[in-house]
Amino acid sequence: MREILGRRRRLLSRLLGGRSEMTEAALTFATRWQWPVIPGVGLQPRSRTLCACPDPECTVPGAHPFDPGLLAATTDERMVRFWWGNRPTAPVILATGGRAPCAVSLPALAAARAMAALDRDGMRLGPVVATPERWSILVAPYSLERLGELLFAKDFVPGALRFHGEGGYLALPPSGTGRSRVRWERAPLPGSASPWVPDVEAVVDAVVDALTVRGVSAPEL
């Protein structure tokens, strides 16, 4: 059965001219931007919601590493072509940290309000990845020690903030997951050699200020 599915995937890839939309995206991230990527586990055959991993209660269906694991993430063109040549619809998963961007994420409604406030203040942001549930602001790589010092210095940090740093991961557009399709809320500039991203300090300072001083309601946090 696995061999038959593999043949179908390779046939689909050939029908698409040898490259799927996901292949093109993965190659851009890995070879042009030098972001290490890996194929996500994806969904079960004939399912739009059930993750292909063994966990029946998976909270991020389709949009996480499984086999190969996160440590296999790479910028090697040959490996990327091999992975997506066999699985042309696999989600693209970014291994955050190291030389790759990290991310700060928050609930979508709070993120929209916070970003509107940052725009009014003239705060420059880089790419922002969005799903209906959460938006993730890409930031420059940081260490856990650096993040810990930053958060320790804050009087209050909203509990709904999440941080994708070293050893973490993030699904990138146009990946499909069990809940939705991942998209760019703020897309990188066309033709970017490698998208600019702000420092984590600037983003956390601005977002915490927007969420607490500007009065975003507690249920959204």
What SS3 string covers 28-58? HHHHHCCCCEEECCCECCCCCCCECCCCCCC
SS3 36: coil
pLDDT of residue 189: 82
Q: Examine the pLDDT at 107 and tell me if it is beyond 80.
A: yes
Assign 19 a pLDDT band (cuts: 50, 70, 90): low
**Residues contacting 209, CB < 8 A, separation 6+:** none
Q: In the predicted model, what is the mean pLDDT of the chain?
A: 86
Going by pLDDT thresholds of 50, 70 and 90, the confidence category of residue 45 is: confident
Which residue is listed with tokens 């990290």? 102
Higher pLDDT, 184 or 212: 184
Residue 190: is the preceding peptide bond cis (ω within 30°)? no
**Residues 65, 172: contact at Cβ < 8 Å?**
no
The H-assigned helical ranges of 29-107 are: 77-86
**188-212: average pLDDT:** 87
What pLDDT sits at residue 8? Answer: 46
pLDDT digits (tens, 9 = 90+) for 161-172: 999 999 999 999
Which pLDDT score is estimated for 215?
52
Residue 43 CB coordination number (10 Å)? 21
Residue 149: helix, strand or coil by DSSP? helix
pLDDT recorded at residue 156? 87
Question: What count of other Cβ atoms lies within 10 Å of the Cβ of residue 202?
Answer: 15
Q: What are the domain boundaries of the chain?
A: 1-91, 96-221
Q: What local confidence, expressed as pLDDT, does residue 213 receive? A: 64
pTM of the model: 0.86
First to last CA, the chain: 45
Contact between 65 and 41 under an 8 Å Cβ cutoff? The reply is yes
Provide the token pair at 31.
Answer: 């070879």
Going by DSSP bridges, is the β-strand pair 92-95/37-39 parallel, antiparallel, or unpaired? Answer: antiparallel
